[in-house]
Amino acid sequence: MANAKKAPYPLALCVTADDFAAAAKEVLPEKAWVYVSSSAASGLSLKANLDDWSRINFRPRIMRSVSAIDTRRAILGQPGQFPFFVSAMGTLGNAHPGAEPLLARGSTRKGLHMVVSTATSKPLEEIMDAHRDEQRLLGNQSPSRLAFQLYMPVDRSKAKSLIQRVKAAGYHSLWITVDTSILGKRTADRYLQAQELLEQGARERELAAENEFGPAFGGRPVPGYLDPGLSWEDLAWIKQEWSGPIVLKGLQTVEDVKIAVEHGVQGVLLSNHGGRQIHSAPSALMTLLEIRNYYPEALEKLEIYVDGGLRDGADALKALCLGATAVGVGRPYFYAMAAYGMEGIEKCTDVLAEEVEITMKMLGVSSLDQLKPEMVNATRLLNEMWRPETVRARL
């Protein structure tokens, strides 16, 4: 279902990350657009993701030398060119025929780390091959690495088989999605399903091509694909199967971050699944503030990433000021690839990277390790942050 239309305007006119969405909407089939743009229920979770970035203000410092800027940020010990990475996104074949291998190549060219979804359109080995081939073309000079996002299937033998494939393929880290005991009610896709039922008389499943672990297209569950029985105890056998770094993806409370630390994982991704799961979820920024206030020790014990709603590279610096290691970017890359292919992937990165550099200079920092909490004013979010009756006793 990849797009067959030409983008409505030249790539040069895309000067913000938001510009790619308008171009993608013109070229994507309706079903693909609904899939990527939709959110849970009435959209409050997605709205929080987008709005909360604007509720934090910078406190710039002046008269500091910023003649040389260093935007590099390591993730799990792997150097990266920027403080943002490509978030896991499923069924990218609906955006472009090059799908995940194309995005892996583009990320590698730009020195970006990328998280590859279980719900890929192409085999995970083919995606890694594309990354390695691009590295070869670049003389192995790119710091880019591929991580793998795991949806846990009910069948543990299948889960172990998939983890072994990921390990054999050479992925650097395993990012386990923990917020999908069931798929959220994705309203726009439900309307589309109802329309199909009326027009066709029966629902037709469209499985992710070439991937036995892929879900049905859109918000349509497949029996056995997601395990509602996933628990903290499962980390024991996962660690036996996987010897590399583990990140838990989808944490939304400080209490669960504390448990993650106790279980010895290397990182957590604060995320509400792009606003696509639970209705009225907290934004990742709100959860990050909970951690800063009620369990700041976590900032020293593991790496903390955030994703959801980032549309300006400058905002990544807000998260880093508050203690995040890096920020994930999803939909903008889907839209950029859909409308412009490889050139779109590279341009999207350039847009975000330029915004990071401009903001660092105006903020008065020359490297990311100079970012501090006092460089932002998060009062508006703090005023709405959850507060336990007894701050420490409940955590």
Residue 249 annotated in ligand binding = yes
Residue 117 annotated in ligand binding = yes
Residue 231 annotated in ligand binding = no
Residue 177 annotated in ligand binding = yes
Residue 315 annotated in ligand binding = no
Residue 89 annotated in ligand binding = yes
Tokens of 39: 């959110």
The whole-angstrom separation of Cα 280 and Cα 107 is 32
Residue 98 annotated in ligand binding = no
The whole-angstrom separation of Cα 259 and Cα 261 is 5
Residue 309 annotated in ligand binding = yes
Catalytic residue selected from 96, 113, 131, 273: 273
Ramachandran area for residue 139 (φ above 0: left; ψ -120 to 50: alpha; else beta): left
Is residue 368 helix, strand or coil?
helix
Length of the chain: 395
Residue 387 annotated in ligand binding = no
Residue 203 annotated in ligand binding = no
Buried residues in 145-173 as b, exposed as e (16+ CB within 10 A)? bbbbbbbbbeeeeebeebbeebeebebeb
Residue 311 annotated in ligand binding = yes
- Measured torsion, CA atoms of residues 75, 77, 82, 86, in degrees rounded to the nearest 10: -40
Residue 330 annotated in ligand binding = yes
Residue 395 annotated in ligand binding = no
What residues have CB less than 8 Å from 219, skipping those under 6 apart?
35, 38, 183, 184, 185, 186, 189, 190, 276
Is 369 buried (19+), middle (13-18) or exposed (0-12) by CB count in 10 A? exposed
The whole-angstrom separation of Cα 273 and Cα 332 is 15
Q: Are 100 and 119 in contact (CB under 8 A)?
A: no
DSSP 7-61: PSS-GGG--STTHHHHHHHHHS-HHHHHHHH--BTTSHHHHHHHHHHTT-EE---
Residue 294 annotated in ligand binding = no
Annotation marks residue 273 as catalytic: yes
Residue 308 annotated in ligand binding = yes
Q: Which residue has the tokens 């025929």?
A: 97
Cα distances from 339 to residues 19, 92, 332, in angstroms, run 10, 13, 11
E-assigned strands of the chain? 57-58, 84-86, 114-116, 146-150, 174-177, 246-251, 267-270, 303-307, 326-329, 376-377
Residue 149 annotated in ligand binding = yes
Residue 331 annotated in ligand binding = yes
Q: Which residues is 135 bridged to in the sheet?
A: none
Residue 47 annotated in ligand binding = no
Indicate the annotated binding residues for glyoxylate: 35, 151, 186, 273, 276
Indicate the annotated binding residues: 35, 88-90, 117, 149, 151, 177, 186, 249, 271, 273, 276, 307-311, 330-331
Indicate the annotated binding residues for FMN: 88-90, 117, 149, 177, 249, 271, 307-311, 330-331
Residues belonging to the active site: 273
